[in-house]
Structure 1
Amino acid sequence: MKPKVSIVVPIYNVAPYLERCLDSLTSQTLEELEIIAVNDGSTDGSGELLDRYAAKDKRIVAIHQPNGGVSAARNRGIRSATADYIGFVDPDDWTEREMYAELYHTALAERADIVMCTYIREFGTHGKEKRFPLPEKVSYENEEVQAKLLRRLVGPLQDEIASPEYLDAWGTVWSKLYKTSLIRDHQVEFIDLHVVGTNEDSLFNIHAVYHARKFVFLNKPYYHYWRVNSGSVTSGYKPDLKDKWFELYGFIERFVEEKRLPPEFRQALNNRICLNTLGLGLNTISAGNKAPALTKLRRLRGILNDGRIRQSFKQFESASCSVIWRLFYGCARFRWALGFYCMLLAIDWLRRTVK
């Protein structure tokens, strides 16, 4: 029987979490699944664990390859998929049992190219739902997809700037189900994280959404995003993150120019650069960075004095931000590194501890 949904799981040294992930997928209420698990050169026993699961459940397709990174593993999964729809799950995360049934049946009923749900961020001791201020279901069609979603993936405008914590909430691939033909016909692929550092999801979605005719958003948290794994590609200290993010901005800028998108897309990218000083700052002060506090402060000062960032802040409008965010981005705009550092420490503490 042909599967209805192919789920791509890139695996690299996640043995403590992998069973939880695979159990959540094999217990889906939508049983007609193909679980394409790509072991990307694991050395911790993840590959052996995967093979044991594949021997018990024929829906699991175990692929073993030399380590090439999460993007290479996902691209291999895309090439191997046989279903009409593709989803992505990270191996340290898990899903609600009804997730893929809900996304799949919505895609069919709405004739949607992409369907998205919301998620819960899991911190080990507690979970925090990522709440989107939208109705239970929202559909975007034709021009709306580019005007409202594609532009939002490039960056925020106006009132959206007031919530910098939502900058990339729309850009995750694991919260979505894609029509396979959309991905393959337009040769949409993931770019190597060694090039862009993070946000390969958002870049992938920018290309996918550009070609989508209909996008449906379900305001229900079916996905669990594990934030505790320090070995995750989205965790830990990345000393070259700023340079890689400027490579990311270059990809987005060229895309906007090649597709001749409206001027507001350029302003949206400019706002992204400003808001991303939060991510650059949190990366700099992260526990994975063992440098002394004074060294971290000097690095923050270097970020705030970068010419591209300074130029972006000249056009940045923070009027719609709350007082706290205006103060935070005011520190960045006027390059007050010490105030910026202190506020980063407070933000980091709040996001990890407040339930």
Structure 2
Amino acid sequence: MGKSERIVLSVIIPVHNVERFLPRLFQSLCRQDLHQVEILFIDDGSTDASGVLLDEVKEYAHFKVKHQHNAGVAAARNLALDMVQGDYICFIDPDDDISEGYIASLRDAALQTKADVLVTDWWECRQDKTVQMSLANSLGASQQLSSESVCRFILQSDLILGSLWAKVFSARLFEGNRFPLQRTCSDFVPCMTAIINAQKIFYVPKIHYLYTVSRGGSLQNSKNERDLSDFVNVHKTVSRLVLQRYPELEPLVRFDLLRSRQQACMSVCTSDAITENRRRSVFRHFSDGLLSFTPFIWKSNYPLKGKMMYIIVASGYGVTQLVMKAKKIIRRKV
């Protein structure tokens, strides 16, 4: 990258103990067109070989590496925000992947549309299958979206998620909009704040982000009580942000809040970080009152599988624990 080359897109990649994923990510990035792009790797105090691998590629064109003492993914992203030179920001997690042409398509779309936010498709990658999530069939001919429509998608479907990936943001949307220093869900409030404040949002087709589900050692498998409280609380914060701008979305906001509590209850049953003696009490804290909203959930657009799981969770800890154990056994046998 020449000294005079203007940087359009800054790609932020926080890294912590993901050495086995980095070679694939490096190869994927090196296949991309990185003209007018900078790749910012923030090593968050890795104790495996991640830091060494990053130092081996820090001289690559477009790559920049910064090491910090372990402070969490939110702190790593905040440090990167202080470093970005691009007009736009894109986020990639190091254990995920991107399709061919992903970065160039987003960079070019940002230049052409002058959008505040770009969204694209994403694929969910599990060990046994890959699920392709695409907006194309839901948008018709138009590729322009409103902030309200994106909020609707996030609150009621999986086509767009309230996560940083599969999106590009104008850098100005993160001025004074930083990541809270918590272990889980630190991206939801800043992401939704950026979307709510966006004036122009466009969908970019024919590319996709590949999200890796529940890798071994992932925080998703070891949430403690504080993590689950943070998870539910960020949904409460987002509900207030959405209702201030779009009060007509109240039913969807209520659905999202109920679903977040359902998910917290399910995590209680599977987390290794919560002792058996505490699980029932923590579960009861998050499940309190869910049963009274069963008619509301049943009339919603929640898939039947989700409705049934909601009813199971609302019925109590004992039955939920049995069902979660049965599902785990079935997955092992398949």
Equivalent residue for 1:224? 210
Distance in 2 of aligned mates of 1:135 and 1:205 = 21
SS at 1:264 equivalent: helix
Distance change in 2, residues 1:23/1:123 (3 Å): same
Distance in 1 of aligned mates of 2:261 and 2:25 = 32
The reply on whether 1:3 has 2:7 as its aligned counterpart is: yes
- Mind listing any 5+ residue stretches in structure 1 that lack a counterpart? 161-165
Return 74-83 or 315-324, whichever deviates more: 315-324
Distance in 2 of aligned mates of 1:212 and 1:349 = 45
Equivalent residue for 1:326? 307
Describe the superposition over 1:19-40 as per-residue Cα deviations: whole angstroms up to 9, x where unpaired. Answer: 2112211221243321111111
Within the candidate set 71, 75, 85, 1:82 is matched to 85
Please give the residue correspondences for 1:200-215 in structure 2 after superposition, counting only pairs within 5 Å. Answer: 200-215=186-201
Query: How many residues are treated as equivalent by the alignment?
Result: 328
2:182 partner amino acid: L
Distance change in 2, residues 1:241/1:64 (3 Å): closer
Please give the residue correspondences for 1:143-292 in structure 2 after superposition, counting only pairs within 5 Å. Answer: 144-145=146-147, 147-153=148-154, 155-156=155-156, 160=157, 166=158, 169-184=160-175, 187-194=176-183, 197-198=184-185, 200-256=186-242, 260-286=244-270, 288=272
SS at 1:15 equivalent: coil
Alpha carbons 1:119, 1:220 under 8 Å: kept: no
CA-based RMSD: 3.1
Q: Which has the higher contact order (CA 8 A, sep 6+)?
A: 1
- Mind listing any 5+ residue stretches in structure 2 that lack a counterpart? none
Describe the superposition over 1:57-110 as per-residue Cα deviations: whole angstroms up to 9, x where unpaired. Answer: 031111111111111111111111112221111111121230011112222222
Offset at 1:208?
0.5
Within the candidate set 58, 61, 76, 1:58 is matched to 61
Distance in 1 of aligned mates of 2:262 and 2:232 = 15
1:251 partner amino acid: T
Q: TM-score, length-normalised on structure 2?
A: 0.84
Return 214-223 or 69-78, whichever deviates more: 214-223
Alpha carbons 1:98, 1:222 under 8 Å: kept: no
